[in-house]
Amino acid sequence: MRDDSHPLTRLGWSSFFHNQLEALGYGLEDIARVTSVRRGGFLVSQGKGETLVNASGALAHRQGLYPAAGDWVVLNGSVLCDVLPRRNALARGAAGARGKNDGAARREQVMAANLDTVLIVCGLDQDFNPARIERYLTLIYNCGLRPAIVLTKADLHPAPADCGVEIEAMAFDVPIHLISAADQTGLAELEPYIAPGNTIALIGSSGAGKSTLVNRLAGKEVRLAGAVSQSDGKGIHTTTSRDMVFMPQGGMIIDNPGIREVAFLDDQGGVDAAFPDIELLAKDCRFSDCSHAHEPGCRVLSAVDSGELKPERFASWRKMKRELEYAAQRQIKNPERIEKERWKGVATLVRSIKKNRKLGGK
């Protein structure tokens, strides 16, 4: 039975993890939570400060879970020897894998584990990019996580509410918060996310204001915040590690380094959840297997033509659909086979076109 007075409870320990202990043969005294992943090891906490530990050699070389920020782990003295099964994980394809056909694209990069909410942070300066937010939403839904959107630097935009309306029109049923860290506007809206025992992760590009947001919520400087270029709006990677920050409100924030790209690993329904408007339109297509590319009676294409559906949103959806389909194929086929089948299909289409033209000329 879970002990709510135990120090681990303040770190987010729940019955989900407690129920695993007896089956795995561990006791509470063996358990800690990873608060930071470092080159020299892992910072972990058992509710009373943090300790630097190393992973066992067996753990480093075995197939399966490798510790990430937010994981619950098993300690044997100062050695991290096991990882408890995760409730969830925010993960993407390995950095540099987007659009590539090599084996690296299949590697998983876990950014944070065992989360309650993921906050997408986007600045209302030159960082504002609705298409990027769509990618973040798809990633989060693909991981089975709950998103919320934080639009920072509202004081730098002449009409921040208009940006909120624009995002609201594409992020269905997702909470949206307009924040100005400079004058504390909107910060109170974020308090429920970091209630006692809750863990959230922040994702966004460099310079979006993630570290500044953490500092304002903490009431002091706990993360180094860097300047943003006035020419291109890009920030410097002041956050270089994924660290769990303990907040005075009782919750925890995992602050991630700025994300330059979002590569998908496989299709877990994320794009359908991020684009429910297009999925709803698709149900009214004439053909159940409509590709929404050229078929007659395509409800999606007619919505684009009539202005009901923005071309930019449709293009973003179609691009991510292709990426996710390719990612799903990669799980069962090697890249060379996928490319061979792709070009075989193209060659067949070309031959068909030539044949039709020849018949038409007779």
pLDDT tens-digit series, residues 320-348: 988 888 777 766 555 555 455 555 555 56
Is 201 contained in some domain?
yes
pLDDT: which is higher, 192 or 336: 192
Q: What is the DSSP-derived secondary structure letter of residue 30?
A: G
User: Are residue 145 and residue 204 in the same domain, yes or no?
Assistant: yes
What tokens does 121 get?
A: 């942070």
pLDDT: which is higher, 235 or 293: 293
Give 294-328 as a DSSP string: S-TT-HHHHHHHHTSS-HHHHHHHHHHHHHHHHHH
Q: Minimal CA–CA distance to 239: which of 249, 253, 250?
A: 253
Contact between 42 and 53 under an 8 Å Cβ cutoff? The reply is yes
pLDDT at residue 256 greater than cutoff 80: yes
Q: Minimal CA–CA distance to 148: which of 201, 185, 101, 97?
A: 201
Reported as a single tens digit per residue, the pLDDT across 284-314 is 999 999 999 889 999 999 999 999 999 999 9
Q: Minimal CA–CA distance to 152: which of 218, 194, 211?
A: 211
Q: What CA–CA distance (Å, rounded) separates 208 from 228?
A: 9
- Confidence class for position 225, pLDDT limits 50, 70, 90: low
User: Are residue 69 and residue 109 in the same domain, yes or no?
Assistant: no
Query: Which CATH number fits the domain that encloses residue 353?
Result: 1.10.40.50
Last residue of a domain, one of 61, 83, 105: 83
pLDDT at 173: 93
Q: What is the count of structural domains for the chain?
A: 3
Structural domain boundaries, residue 119: 89-255
Q: What CA–CA distance (Å, rounded) separates 359 from 362?
A: 5
